[in-house]
Amino acid sequence: MTIDEKYLETINRCPIFSISGRFSTEDVLTALHAEKRDYDKGDLIHKSGEPFFKFGILLDGCARACIDDIDGNSMIMAEIDVGSTFGESLCYLKIADSPVYVVSSERSTVLWLDPAMLFDNTDSPLKTEIQQNYTKMLAKRTLSMNTRIQVLSKLRLRDKILTYLSSVANETGEMTFSVPLSREDLATYIGADRTALSRELSRLKREGVIDYYKNTFKIL
């Protein structure tokens, strides 16, 4: 398929496209039957209860992966920003009834990729490279989920907040950074009440541990 030039840099940052010079981005797009789709704000990019036959790369906009708890309350599993992938683990495992759903937080563009060729009986140098890169992508996803586990494993709200903020600082390499979550979404992400979150953030600011203005934070 033909991809707009404005998306090529984003696509090539994805580990699945880290291929040798003998193959092109177009070769990988063709092998994975790439398909680009646009979504409006609030659209379901992927529905709960449906399998991930393909995984996605967010080319534009913003989205989030969610799951409902036993009481039917929505829990944010991950914020998906431009260049991020989603669904690759569930797609690889071929889980028929995925509990995860993905919602477009604003008008978004997704590149869907079908890894079916990884499971057929053919062999080729391109397939070998894509398989290796898919493994790297799964490893990266594991590290991302490990961060979430670290946040949720903390008993005190204070520690959950600081663990989350530290993970964003490590990812950006900066002590001053913006978080992709609103206060309500951050409360949902770390499993806390919004009022309690705001109160604890204010306390951390007064103590000189952090500073913040809206969604921009600084670890002091």
The tens digit of pLDDT for each residue in 59-109 reads 999 999 998 877 777 888 888 989 999 999 888 888 888 889 999 999 999
Per-residue pLDDT at 74: 81
Above 80 in pLDDT, residue 159?
Answer: yes
User: What is the second-level CATH architecture of the domain 154-219?
Assistant: Orthogonal Bundle (1.10)
Above 80 in pLDDT, residue 37?
Answer: yes
Top-confidence residue, 184 or 113: 113
Top-confidence residue, 1 or 73: 73
Per-residue pLDDT at 57: 95
Above 70 in pLDDT, residue 177?
Answer: yes
What's the mean pLDDT when you consider all of the chain?
Answer: 89
- Tell me what the mean pLDDT of segment 2-12 comes to: 84
Per-residue pLDDT band at 2 (split at 50, 70, 90)? low
Above 70 in pLDDT, residue 32?
Answer: yes
**What is the separation, in whole angstroms, between the first and last Cα of the chain?**
48
Per-residue pLDDT at 1: 63
Q: Which of 193, 184, 176, 180 is nearest to 63 (CA)?
A: 180
Q: How far apart are CA 27 and CA 174, in angstroms?
A: 36
Same fold yes or no, 5-147 and 154-219: no
Above 80 in pLDDT, residue 111?
Answer: yes
- The residues spanned by each domain of the chain are 5-147, 154-219
**What class, spelled out in words, does domain 5-147 have in CATH?**
mainly beta
**127-133 long-range Cβ contacts below 8 angstroms, 24+ apart:** 127/31, 129/19, 129/20, 129/23, 130/16, 130/19, 130/28, 130/31, 130/32, 133/15, 133/16, 133/17, 133/18, 133/19
Per-residue pLDDT at 193: 86
Above 70 in pLDDT, residue 140?
Answer: yes
- Tell me what the mean pLDDT of segment 200-219 comes to: 93
Indicate the pTM of the whole model. Answer: 0.76
